[in-house]
Structure 1
Amino acid sequence: MNDTTRFLSVGPRINILEDKTGQLTFEQVRQRRDFKPEKSESFQYGFSSSAYWFRFELINRSQENTRHWLLGLLDATTLDYVDLYLVYPQGHVRHVTGGLKRPYVDQGFFAMTPFFRVELPTNARVTVFFRIKSSLALYGKVTVWDEYYNLSKGRVAIFAIWMFLGLFILRSLNNFVLARFIPDPQFRFYAVCTFLLYLSTLSRTGIYPILFSGYPRLLDWMNYGMGRLLPLGLAVWMYNLLDNRPVFRVLKWLLLGVMAVEGAGVLIAIFVQTDAIGRFFAYLMTLMYGLFFLNVFLIWFTPQRTRYHFVLPIVFCAIPFFLFQLQSLSIISYRPVISQLALLALAVEMVSMSLVLGRIVQTYIKDRITTANALMLEKVEVDKLQELNGVKTQFFANISHEFRTPLTLILGPLADLKERFPNESMLNVMERNGNRLLSLINQLLDLSKLEAGKLKAEPEPGDMASFLRTLASAFNSLADSRVILFSFQQSRLSYWANFDRDKIEKIVTNLLANAFKFTPDGSEVAMTVSYQTEGMPHALVISVRDTGIGIAVANLPRIFDRFYQVDGKANRNYEGTGIGLAMVDELVRVLNGTIAVASTEGVGTTFTVTLPLVGIDPPQLAVLSLVQQATQPDVPVMQLVAKHVSEQGMVLSASQLRPFPVDSLPVTELLPQSAPENLLLVIDDNADIRAYVRSIFEADYQVIEAIDGQDGLERATVMLPNIVICDLMMPRLDGFGFCRALKTGEATSHIPVVMLTAKATVEDRIEGFELGADDYLTKPFNRVEIRARVRNLIQQRQRLYQHFIAKALLPAATQPVPELAEPAKPALLAAEQKFLDRLTAVVMQHLDDADFTVEALAEGVNMSRTQLHRKLKALTDTTATLFIRDIRLTRAAELLRTGADNVSQVAHAVGFDSLSYFAKVFQERYGVLPSHYGRASSAGSKLSPQ
């Protein structure tokens, strides 16, 4: 070496000794004469337990540089132990150590590979010994460097290392962040795989000895075990790429084996590392890379090419690592460029994948947009289906209404004919088939509501045991006629609960009808009811068992399908539509219950329905009996209800105040005597329905007809009928619109309305009641029921108005002071009180006007004389003339009590020109003459109107 020497490769000038024991000391090696000359620029040894000694001599001819020389093993990143011995001419020996298993502080110079700073005196012959040993493959070059020249070159290497480290951190974070938001499993596996690849590459940068110098065991694992994570990650990722096609099955099993062994190798590296273990995993890694390239080939030439943008960047990185493994096994010769290619490949992968990431994100965004559009289209389709279901439900409701109208005109007159001709058997056949047609219409309507999701549970309080007993008793006559032994048993004689009467009735009647239909004459049908109230939750269990033909096991799963029939032949022995059990199944689901079936062909079938049970205390229903007392005379029902509700601390829902069934109403045929004042308005767009209703009431009422709601509103406003029977579905103005207009009109607000319709769901009833409807009747209706409903409404309204007007017309001084606050007035009475107050105010404005007439009063409240007369007659059972006179007399009594004016002055002050007439009517009202009334009042007498 001289002053111009910057770098020397001493490979061809060295001699090599293999220490197969690995135990020779430096002194022993100095004496050996079996060193062999090396002819190559570099050295390369496979996995071995031997130690290798290198010997060469250096002569420094430089006059300036004696202290700044570097001796190093270039590219030797896998050495466990490196020892440098310098033998100077005077016999002095210098010993320096390095290697992966030596503490970093003991190493003489920072570099990715073992480098040592040495002092070489000028013109001195120095003998150099290198000892290297490792459980991994050994390769590299022996070099001599000018220190300053090395530093100038090293800056680039150090910059590249730290830049790689920074890119590694940023890239890994970027991948993991993207993997968090991009739900693509391939990309997520790719992110993990590249992360492991970066960690494996870091071991070649010399970072680990700096970071983990104080943790030798961890440092060993980072150097050896970390390298095994890379093929493990590749195997897991590649396994995820392959589907279950036969061409991939063998490869997937091989990959599973590689994953298992590599996973074990990662753990083994924590405890032990030998050359044999290193050689085994080197071959395994080589096999893994071979499988990887084979899989890439198969993926590329199969329809699974959609993931090529993930595969190609990894292929770029895997090629130099594959060459690295071949080099470590001495299958190919050592080339320093392979190590450089590994770093270059990582850089290419970062750049290429950064470009691909844009496509991944773009694809992901497109997929999100496509998914959002698909969801939007699906939502539009769902909305359309819901709208269609709504239209279907409305159609079924409308068509049901249309069917019920002719059924009303068939079943109603049939009932009359049966009364007139009780011995005509064909009338019973006609009525039975008419009722069956009505039942089928109801089932279709229920099914349409179930499809639209509009059928909801409508629980109401009642005695469930009594209700089920009544349902079962309806089948006794059928059982008797067919000589079928029908038994009914319950675990309770009485059980009060909230339950949906309508749906439970349909469930039970369908199951019993089905049992009787498939049970031959002379056999047995049994129904048992169990109230399971022990523990939670409580349950109602209804079991219906027959001894009929049974159901085959193959047909059991489909018996609840709509329109499915076990025997679908046209000439089958049993008729039916195939919707009864389907409706039962869906009604049970609406009630949050379950249904099970057990059957043996030729033996019989048992259906078991389990429903949630919500029990209540029987006294809670006392309010309903109070409301029912409204059908009895002289019962102040509103006061009773308010009092009971206050005492019990209860709240009544709208459904609890629903109209009562006809069997709870008196069925007496006594109606008000026929009189010209009794007007009944019938509003229906069907002329036959109007004619039928007229035939029911024409003997007791003057019946007025209207063809639709608009026509009916005009007639009701002019004629003020006593009651209105109104259809719900009509052109121009339907029943709801009519009711709203009628109840908000001052002249007509008092008129009770009975809705006549096929739409009698809870929602429809509540809407109608909120608009002021007083009762509902479902088509087809019974003539006795409609007469009872109309009579009870009129009587109830009359009793309320009598109680109301009796208090309203009492003189203020004679009204007793209540001890307790009265219940709030119903909204109906509040509206009528407002009307009467308005009438009273108009009269009081003209109190001293003897010429103030009924016509003037009617004009003052924007009514005709006839309207005013009928309204007052309905509210107060008096005429407008008597109403004006009563107000005048009430004011006269107040003035007479004060004693400020004489009788003549009082008479003129309240509008009486004739003193004698005033005295006459005053005595009729108060029982004394006006002059005596004043003195009696002064004496403290308590007088009240007659």
Structure 2
Amino acid sequence: MIPAMKKLKEFLKVLVLCSILFEVYAQEVTLDSTVKFPLNISTSIETFQDASGSVSLEEVLKKSFSKPNKDHFVFPYSDNIYWVRVSLKNNTFHVKEFYLLWSNPLVEQLDFYISDRADMKDFKHVEQKIITKERDKKFIDQDPRFIFKIEPNQTRYIYFKLTSKRGHYGELRLHTRESFQKFRMDDFASQGFLNGLMFFRLFLVLVLSFFIIKDLSFRLYSLYTLLRTFNYWGYLNIAGPLFTDQPDMAKKIDFLCYNSATLGAGIFLIATFTVQKLPKVHLYLVGLFLLFTVFFSSVIFFDYQWYWLKGGVYTLVFSAGYYILLYIFLTVKNVAFARYYSILFTFGLLSSFLLNVRLLGWIELKPIYTLSYYFFLAEFVFFVIFLGRIFRNTERNKTLTERQLKFNIEQNNKLKELDNLKTTFFTNISHEIRTPLTLITGPFQQLAEKYPSDKLIPLIQRNTDRLLTLVNQILDISKLEAGQMKPEIANHNITEYLRTLTSSFISLAESRKIDFERSFSSTETYGFIDRDKVDKIVTNLLSNAFKFTPQGGKVSFEKYFDASKKRMTIVISDTGIGIESEKLSKIYDRFYQADDAQNRSFEGTGIGLALVKELVEVLKGKITVESQKDEGTTFSVELPIDRLTWKDFIGPINENSYQNTVSKQQVQTPTENFDSENDQILLIVDDNEDIRNYVRSIFEIDYKIVEARNGKDGVEKAIEQVPDIIISDLMMPEMDGLEFCKVLKADARTSHIPIVMLTAKANVESRIEGYELGADDYVIKPFNKNELQARVKNLLDVRAKLRQKYESKEQQESAEPDAKVNEVDGRFIQKVIEIIDEHLSDSQFGIDQLADEMLLSTTQLRRKIKVLTNQTIVEFIRNHRLHKAAQLLSQNTGTISEIAYQVGFDSLSYFSKVFQESYGVSPSDYRVSNLK
């Protein structure tokens, strides 16, 4: 009984195995010469889903497989392991070697089992993870492939074990060697072409965005193109292996790349604000999609699970669908720039959308891939059209920009011309006003000295000063508008300066019966300031304080110094009428009057505070004001006084007052008799006759006066008369003072003459320009008579000292111009000496011949030599002959008589006499003393 039972069990096992084998391999793939390769054997496969993920091959043989009966297979996202089996029989087919191709490059791990027995005894196992090192080409995708042989009339049994958390769509294709090589060549050509397009597009947009097209939208599209390129490589398992040979890291990089398909489109929408032309809900949706995309792309690197993978694909599909609809809407509506960008994005997104929809198993139609491919190519076609549009728009914008730039330049030039005209106008007006002021203040000072007790004198003085202050303010405003007012910084004892400046208001406070308090935080504070501008700021603020403070009120001045910040703060307060709060913002407007007419102590112009504010800004400071109606006003001015702030403005010139100098100067002693060479000639050049007469009245006792009506007339008079000094106005018709100075200093006949400029242009730039052209000094209108006399005397004293150069025998020997003598005068003297040397032995050579050689009149030559050397021409020629004789005697080059004749002396006795007078010894003794 027992043996019979054992036999029955064995029979049943065989029966079950046979039924399984019959079920499994009922439709094996038969290969013969009629089969065309490659052969899609997906319809002949059967699959089994291992939910536990732990079933072995031996156990799988006992499992029930299902037959999909499709020409493709789809495996969803999960932790399951999928088994695929198929049997192949070679029906006397001469081909023995075959290639089995799994048409999906994103396989995470694929195990290949093959055996010639149905029970899979003696099977061959090949494991293949995501392909990295075994690639044929870096930028060509590679589907997993397995090479095996089937002998004629032999059947091979094949199992595939798919381990992947990703969803899969693929086919199983069988190739011969020839068909596989042809397939790979076609695949290389196709993908090589696409990669070429990808590289070309990427290179082109990056170069254009970096160097040619500066448009933000195009640069964002360049970012999208970069993401789109790696998105394409991620789908083909190209991106991951580019960065690593580790399969686990490669599959994460691939996911990051293909999951970013819609990232660039979303960024483009938000960054270019196209979506803001729609309801805000779209902006929120775009932001949400971007957030989910970044989240899933990040979390995969830390927790690689199928649900994160599937979540990323869902985000990609829904965002792509939303962007497609939105871009189509923008294209139809032709919103701003969106049309051409929208077409490109739409085709690119459609390609990604269809691939992922098929991967999710929503649509399994085989043409989906082909349609996606065509959309992908359409993106490139419209990219070319898009570029043409971009270039056309760029050229148009460039033309418009050039036109706008040209227009702006023309407008700027016109504005500059207008500013220059305004500045010139105000300067001319200021000059014209200063001229009568000069004619008033000059004689008035003489009257004040003559009638010191007259009570009208102070009244005239105050109003003259007031008028001068207004003129200066108008000129300052014009310079500020033209941007011509620059800081003139120097180091000063600020406390001492401010104490002196504010002390001038003490008498005003006493006369108005106003309590004036001054407070200084330290006895000495040194710092870098512009005294002129600080003077105007403080004077204006104090004047306003006294103007609006009634009798019995109080005005205070306080100065603080912040050592840590290197800043000075000036606070000026009063208990006057105050300013209403609604008017405080307008007090710095020009010509604005904050006070009512009945409350004014005296009329104002409304430009004082405007000037103060702009001066504070020029000095890089800050001004604030606090005020209450009928209680008073407080102004605070904060100014930097450190060297670092003003390092670019600190120059060698320190503008000092001439008051102390003028008081110490002694006026030139009058002379009574004039002769042709010894007369002191003063040339006055001014287009205003009153100015010429006033200057003449100052100097006519001491100088012979010559007048000229303008610069052109002045040049003629200067060349004819060769004056000792010239006083010239700066602004004149036909030829102004600067051009007049330039002409004279360039002419050898007049280059030595010192020139004093009278000008209303008190700024440093004008003085520097004048000094560069050769002006020797500046006097600002209205001028002080004593100051002008002192300036003239100083220049003539300096010129007298320079004459000693040519009286010195040693300097005559060197014949090199002194550093203080200008180059033109140095060349003039050198030329005179050279001409005398050429005629040294000619005893008849004299002034007439020398004047002819120098192309000058005898008068011009006499005055020029006299001014430069303090000698007559006869004395100059004789002294030079004696100097040459002394040189020859020292060298013992001949007898005394020979040397006398050689240097132009016909009489030996006369030569000995004048040599004795000049050198103190006779020629023979001079020779003996120099030969020892």
Superposition TM-score, scaled by structure 2 size: 0.79
Q: Does the Cα contact within 8 Å between 1:56 and 1:129 map onto a contact in 2?
A: yes
Q: 1:833 to 1:274 in 2, by over 3 A?
A: closer
What do residues 247-268 of structure 1 show as CA deviations (whole Å, max 9, x unaligned)?
2522222222222222222233
1:242 aligns to 2:273 (yes or no): yes
CA shift for structure 1 position 778 = 1.6
Match of 2:821 among 814, 819, 827: 827
Match of 1:262 among 293, 298, 306: 293
Q: Does the Cα contact within 8 Å between 2:490 and 2:651 map onto a contact in 1?
A: no
| Residue 691 of structure 2: aligned partner | 689
CA distance in 1, matches of 2:570, 2:854: 62
Q: Which amino acid aligns with 2:735?
A: L
CA shift for structure 1 position 547 = 3.7
| Residue 17 of structure 2: aligned partner | none
CA distance in 2, matches of 1:855, 1:276: 117
Q: Which amino acid aligns with 2:506?
A: N
Identity %: 32
1:284 aligns to 2:318 (yes or no): no
Greater CA drift, 438-447 or 715-724: 715-724
Match of 2:514 among 484, 504, 514: 484
CA shift for structure 1 position 822 = 13
| Residue 576 of structure 1: aligned partner | 604
What do residues 273-306 of structure 1 show as CA deviations (whole Å, max 9, x unaligned)?
4443333333222211122113213432456341
CA distance in 1, matches of 2:233, 2:916: 120
Greater CA drift, 2-11 or 884-893: 884-893
1:326 aligns to 2:324 (yes or no): no
Q: 1:95 to 1:610 in 2, by over 3 A?
A: same
Q: Does the Cα contact within 8 Å between 2:300 and 2:308 map onto a contact in 1?
A: no
Q: Does the Cα contact within 8 Å between 1:232 and 1:262 map onto a contact in 2?
A: yes
1:458 aligns to 2:458 (yes or no): no
CA distance in 1, matches of 2:177, 2:69: 26
What do residues 702-742 of structure 1 show as CA deviations (whole Å, max 9, x unaligned)?
53322122323333443444543222222233323433444
Q: Which amino acid aligns with 1:725?
A: I
CA shift for structure 1 position 316 = 1.5
CA distance in 2, matches of 1:106, 1:687: 102
| Residue 646 of structure 1: aligned partner | none
Match of 1:782 among 769, 784, 804: 784
CA distance in 2, matches of 1:274, 1:297: 35
What do residues 102-133 of structure 1 show as CA deviations (whole Å, max 9, x unaligned)?
898799xx995455445455556666655545
Q: Which amino acid aligns with 2:316?
A: M
CA shift for structure 1 position 9 = 4.8
CA distance in 2, matches of 1:92, 1:197: 48
Q: 1:300 to 1:242 in 2, by over 3 A?
A: farther
| Residue 715 of structure 1: aligned partner | 717
3-state SS in 2 of match to 1:392: helix
3-state SS in 2 of match to 1:339: helix
CA distance in 1, matches of 2:915, 2:55: 150
What do residues 815-839 of structure 1 show as CA deviations (whole Å, max 9, x unaligned)?
9999xx9995631699499659949
| Residue 608 of structure 1: aligned partner | 637
Q: 1:183 to 1:82 in 2, by over 3 A?
A: farther
1:544 aligns to 2:572 (yes or no): yes
Q: Does the Cα contact within 8 Å between 1:89 and 1:124 map onto a contact in 2?
A: no
Q: 1:133 to 1:399 in 2, by over 3 A?
A: same
1:348 aligns to 2:346 (yes or no): no
CA shift for structure 1 position 384 = 4.1
Q: 1:580 to 1:90 in 2, by over 3 A?
A: closer
CA shift for structure 1 position 419 = 4.7
Q: Which amino acid aligns with 2:368?
A: I
| Residue 135 of structure 1: aligned partner | 165
Q: Does the Cα contact within 8 Å between 1:674 and 1:701 map onto a contact in 2?
A: no
Q: 1:757 to 1:29 in 2, by over 3 A?
A: closer
Q: 1:127 to 1:162 in 2, by over 3 A?
A: same
Q: Does the Cα contact within 8 Å between 1:193 and 1:233 map onto a contact in 2?
A: yes
CA shift for structure 1 position 605 = 0.7
What do residues 748-798 of structure 1 show as CA deviations (whole Å, max 9, x unaligned)?
555443322223433433443454444322222233433444455456655
CA distance in 2, matches of 1:412, 1:363: 70
Q: Does the Cα contact within 8 Å between 1:12 and 1:41 map onto a contact in 2?
A: yes
Q: Does the Cα contact within 8 Å between 1:754 and 1:773 map onto a contact in 2?
A: yes
Q: Which amino acid aligns with 1:827?
A: V
Q: Does the Cα contact within 8 Å between 1:76 and 1:139 map onto a contact in 2?
A: no
1:518 aligns to 2:548 (yes or no): yes
3-state SS in 1 of match to 2:278: helix
Match of 2:505 among 472, 475, 483: 475
Q: 1:414 to 1:169 in 2, by over 3 A?
A: same
Q: How does 1:834-873 map to 2 (within 5 A)?
A: 838=832
3-state SS in 2 of match to 1:439: helix
Q: Does the Cα contact within 8 Å between 2:555 and 2:574 map onto a contact in 1?
A: yes
Q: Which amino acid aligns with 1:583?
A: L
CA shift for structure 1 position 77 = 5.3
3-state SS in 1 of match to 2:225: helix
| Residue 756 of structure 1: aligned partner | 758
Q: How does 1:45-60 map to 2 (within 5 A)?
A: 45-53=75-83, 59-60=89-90
| Residue 419 of structure 2: aligned partner | 389
Match of 2:621 among 544, 569, 594: 594
Q: How does 1:120-159 map to 2 (within 5 A)?
A: 120=150, 122=152, 131-132=161-162, 134-142=164-172, 144-146=174-176, 148-159=178-189
CA shift for structure 1 position 672 = 0.7
Q: Does the Cα contact within 8 Å between 2:110 and 2:160 map onto a contact in 1?
A: no
CA shift for structure 1 position 239 = 2.9
Q: How does 1:23-42 map to 2 (within 5 A)?
A: 23-32=54-63, 35-42=65-72
Q: Does the Cα contact within 8 Å between 1:847 and 1:911 map onto a contact in 2?
A: no
| Residue 664 of structure 1: aligned partner | 662
CA shift for structure 1 position 874 = 5.8
* Runs of 5+ unmatched residues, structure 2: 1-29, 645-649
3-state SS in 1 of match to 2:624: strand
Q: How does 1:409-420 map to 2 (within 5 A)?
A: 409-419=439-449
1:295 aligns to 2:326 (yes or no): yes
Q: Which amino acid aligns with 2:33?
A: D
CA distance in 2, matches of 1:889, 1:163: 102
Q: Does the Cα contact within 8 Å between 1:97 and 1:106 map onto a contact in 2?
A: no
3-state SS in 1 of match to 2:301: helix
Q: Which amino acid aligns with 1:597?
A: T
CA distance in 2, matches of 1:431, 1:831: 45
Greater CA drift, 210-219 or 449-458: 210-219
Match of 1:251 among 262, 268, 282: 282
Q: Does the Cα contact within 8 Å between 1:217 and 1:270 map onto a contact in 2?
A: no
Q: Does the Cα contact within 8 Å between 1:73 and 1:140 map onto a contact in 2?
A: yes
3-state SS in 2 of match to 1:245: helix
Q: 1:654 to 1:742 in 2, by over 3 A?
A: farther
CA distance in 2, matches of 1:662, 1:12: 116
Superposition TM-score, scaled by structure 1 size: 0.78
* Runs of 5+ unmatched residues, structure 1: 616-651
CA distance in 2, matches of 1:245, 1:309: 18
CA distance in 2, matches of 1:122, 1:111: 33
3-state SS in 1 of match to 2:626: strand
Greater CA drift, 153-162 or 704-713: 153-162
Q: Which amino acid aligns with 1:599?
A: E
Q: Does the Cα contact within 8 Å between 2:354 and 2:369 map onto a contact in 1?
A: no
Greater CA drift, 835-844 or 666-675: 835-844
Q: CA RMSD in A?
A: 5.1
CA distance in 2, matches of 1:857, 1:440: 56
CA distance in 2, matches of 1:878, 1:106: 105
3-state SS in 1 of match to 2:387: helix
Q: Which amino acid aligns with 1:396?
A: F
3-state SS in 2 of match to 1:270: coil
CA distance in 2, matches of 1:135, 1:653: 78
3-state SS in 2 of match to 1:527: strand
